[in-house]
Chains A and B, each alone.
Chain A
C-alpha cells in the first residue's frame, strides 16, 4: 500500500516538475525574442500604397545606421489591427506601433503602453515644425503628444469613372438628390452605381460619416466621441441611416457588395474595370489604382470629387472625414537602446527629402509643410493638389469613427452598420443599440 502511495506522489511531483519546466520554456520565449535581433528596433507597417516608400526609407536608414537598425515587417490592414493590440497587451509589441490616433491610441496611453513624446518634440522643434499642425494634433491625448504622423493625409474622396460617366452622359453628383437620380441611370446602362467593400465593414462607415457630417455637422460625432449620454439619438444619425437604406433599396451598391473585401482591393477593381461608376473610399486607394491600373489613372479616366451636400444639412460642404494621417507611437516596453534608435529615426530618418519625394511620386500627399511646389510638379498634380486643398481648407477633419471610438464601441458600430446595409435592422434599432455602448 505504501509503495503505491509513494508512487502516485512521485508521479504527481514529476508531472508538476515537468509542467513547471515546460512553463519555463514557454515564458522564456518572449524574453528571448526581445533580446534577439541584437537590440534592433522592430517596426510593423501596413501592406498597400505606402509599403514601398516605408521599405525604402527603413532600408536607407539601416544602411546608414548599422548600429541602430530597424527590423521591418508588413501586415494587411485588418489583420494588423487585431495582431498589434494583442501583441502590445502581451508585452510583445513592436518598438514602432503604427496607428491612427483617436480612441485606440487613448487605450494604449491609458494602459501605459506608449511613450510620451512631448519632451522629445520640445527638445527637437524641427520635428514639430515639419508637420501640418492640424494633423499633428491627432497624435495628442490630453495635451501630450504620444504619436507622430508618418505618411500622408487621407481624406475620404468620391471617385468616379469618367469613361462610364461619359457613356451614360452623367455629371458627378453635387447633391444627394442628384446622387439618387444617377442610380437608375447607371443601372439601366448595366453598370453598378457604387462599388463597396462591404465584407470589410469599414468602407460602409464612410457613408455614415459623410452623411452625418453633411446633415448635422461635426458636432454630432464630437458628442458621440465625448461619450455624452444618448449622443447617437441625434436626428442626423437616423436621417443618415435612412438615406443609406434608401440607397441600398434603390440598388445603389454593386451586386454582392457584402462579400467584397476591401483588403484585396476588389472594390477599386470594380471602378477601374468599369463595372461600377463610383466608389467612396479613402485617399489612399489612388496609390493602389495607380499601381494596379496605371493607364486608367494616367489616361485621365479617374475622376474625383467631394461628397455631395444634403439639402437642408447643417454641415459645411468643405468639411471632410477620413484619416488625417497614420502615426508612429513608440512602445514603452521597448529597451532603452530600441527607444533611442526609434527616436533617432523619427528625428532624422523619417520624411527625408527622399521619403517625401517617394510619397508624392506614389500618388500621396505627405503631411509636411511647404510641399506645394513639389505637388505642382508631380504628374499626379490634379489629384494631389485636390487632396491637399481638401485637407487644408477643411474647417473640420473628422477622424474615421472606428478609430476615434474605443475598440469595443468601434466594433459594435461596424457590426450594426453592416446590419443596416443588409437591412436586417432599422435606424432606430441601430441608435438604441449604439446608445447602450456609450462609455464602454
Chain B
C-alpha cells in the first residue's frame, strides 16, 4: 500500500507533541550550549579572573598549542584512558557475569564489591594517599619490602597507581551495569544451549558476550569519556605530579585557569577536551552499528 502525502502528515502528527521536548531543550540550551559558547568566547580572550576581559584573537590558542605541557597532558590523558579501559573492562565484565547469579554467597560478595561506589573520589584519594605513603603508609607499617615503594613520587610508577585507584573506585559501577545486562538475557537461551551440550565457556562466548554487546558499548563509553574527565581523584592523590607525570588534560585546564589565572588558555584547553570527548563518544556509538539505539527487548 502506498502512503499519500496527506496520510503521512496524519501519521506524523499522531506522534507525541513537540512541546514535550521543550523543557529538555531549554535545559540543554542553558546548561550546555550557553556555557559552551562562553568557553569558546573566552578562549579568544585574555583574562586573569580579576581584571577586564580583553579580546586577544588567537593568542591563547597559540600559547596552548605550542606549550609542551599541553602535549604531555594529552599523552597522559590518552594513557590513562587506555589503561583504565583495558584494566576495568574485562574485570567488570567478569565480575558482572559472576554476580548476576542467584546464589546467596554471590549476593554477599556483590555487596562487598560495591562498597567503593559509596565513597567520594576525594575520600578514596585521601585514603590511598595515606596507605601509599612511603614513610608512614602500609608498606613501612607492615614491613613488607615489596610494598615499601615511593608509589606516588616515582614518575614511572605513579600513572599505574592512578589507574589502579581509578579502577578500584569505578569497577563496581561498571560491574553493576554488566550485572543488569546479564540479568536481561533470557534464560531460555541458556537452557537451549545446555540441551545442545554447550559448556560454560561456550555459553559465555556464544550467548552472554553477544547479548551484552550494547551493555559493553554503554559501559565503554562511560569508561572512556569518564576517564577523559578524571579530575578530583588525581587532584587530591598526586596534584598532577610528580612533575607533569599525572597532569592530565582536565587537571591541566584547572591549574592553568585557577592557579596560573590564565582563563583564556584554560578555556582553549576546555574546548580541546570537549572536542576529544565528543569524538570518542561518537566513535564508540558508531561501533554499536546502525540500530544501536533500538530496544533489544523481544517484541519492542
Measured CB to CB, the residues of A under 8 A from B are 7-8, 11, 14-16, 18-19, 22-23, 82, 85-86, 88-89, 107-108, 110-111, 113, 198-200, 254-261, 266, 269-270, 275, 407-408, 411-412, 415, 418-419, 422, 424
Measured CB to CB, the residues of B under 8 A from A are 18-19, 21-23, 25-27, 29-30, 34, 48-51, 129, 132-136, 150-153, 155, 158, 238-239, 241-244, 255, 258-262
Q: Looking across the interface, which residue of chain B has its beta carbon closest to that of A107? A: B50
Give the CA-CA distance A85 to B51 in the complex, in Å.
11
**A419 close to B243 (CB less than 8 A):** yes
Can you report 13 A-B residue pairs in the complex whose CB atoms are below 8 A from each other? A23-B34, A85-B50, A85-B261, A86-B49, A86-B258, A111-B51, A198-B153, A199-B152, A256-B153, A258-B242, A259-B241, A418-B241, A424-B243
**B29 close to A15 (CB less than 8 A):** yes
Residues in B with CB closer than 8 Å to A14 are 19, 22, 26
**A259 close to B260 (CB less than 8 A):** no
Residues in A with CB closer than 8 Å to B48 are 89, 107, 407-408
Q: Tell me the interface secondary structure of chain A in the complex.
A: helix
Give the CA-CA distance A258 to B151 in the complex, in Å.
10
Residues in A with CB closer than 8 Å to B25 are 11, 15
Among all A-B residue pairs, the 10 with the closest Cβ atoms: A256-B134, A259-B152, A259-B153, A258-B242, A111-B50, A89-B49, A18-B26, A411-B260, A256-B150, A256-B153
Closest Cβ–Cβ distance, residue B181 to chain A (whole Å): 35
Residues in B with CB closer than 8 Å to A88 are 50
Give the CA-CA distance A22 to B30 in the complex, in Å.
8
Residues in A with CB closer than 8 Å to B152 are 199, 256, 258-259
Give the CA-CA distance A254 to B134 in the complex, in Å.
9
Residues in B with CB closer than 8 Å to A199 are 152, 238-239, 241-242
Residues in A with CB closer than 8 Å to B21 are 11
Closest Cβ–Cβ distance, residue A18 to chain B (whole Å): 4
Contact of A19 among B29, B158, B242, B259 (CB under 8 A): B29
Residues in B with CB closer than 8 Å to A15 are 22, 25-26, 29
Contact of A258 among B18, B26, B241 (CB under 8 A): B241
Give the CA-CA distance A422 to B48 in the complex, in Å.
29
Give the CA-CA distance A266 to B21 in the complex, in Å.
54
Pick the most buried of B22, B27, B155: most chain A CB atoms within 10 A of its CB.
B22
Give the CA-CA distance A321 to B244 in the complex, in Å.
28
**A82 close to B136 (CB less than 8 A):** no
**B242 close to A259 (CB less than 8 A):** yes
Closest Cβ–Cβ distance, residue B146 to chain A (whole Å): 15
Contact of A275 among B19, B135, B151, B158 (CB under 8 A): B135
Give the CA-CA distance A287 to B94 in the complex, in Å.
52
Residues in A with CB closer than 8 Å to B18 are 7-8, 11
**B49 close to A18 (CB less than 8 A):** no
**B135 close to A255 (CB less than 8 A):** yes
**A258 close to B50 (CB less than 8 A):** no
Closest Cβ–Cβ distance, residue A403 to chain B (whole Å): 13
**A270 close to B49 (CB less than 8 A):** no
Question: Assuming A199-B152, A411-B261, what are 9 further A-B pairs, CB within 8 angstroms?
Answer: A7-B19, A11-B25, A14-B19, A257-B153, A259-B132, A259-B153, A275-B135, A407-B260, A422-B243
Give the CA-CA distance A37 to B51 in the complex, in Å.
28
Q: Looking across the interface, which residue of chain B has its beta carbon closest to that of A18? A: B26
Contact of B135 among A16, A107, A256 (CB under 8 A): A256
Residues in A with CB closer than 8 Å to B19 are 7, 11, 14
Pick the most buried of B155, B243, B258: most chain A CB atoms within 10 A of its CB.
B243
**A258 close to B133 (CB less than 8 A):** no
Residues in B with CB closer than 8 Å to A419 are 243-244
Give the CA-CA distance A407 to B258 in the complex, in Å.
10
Residues in B with CB closer than 8 Å to A110 are 50-51
**B239 close to A261 (CB less than 8 A):** yes
**B49 close to A259 (CB less than 8 A):** no
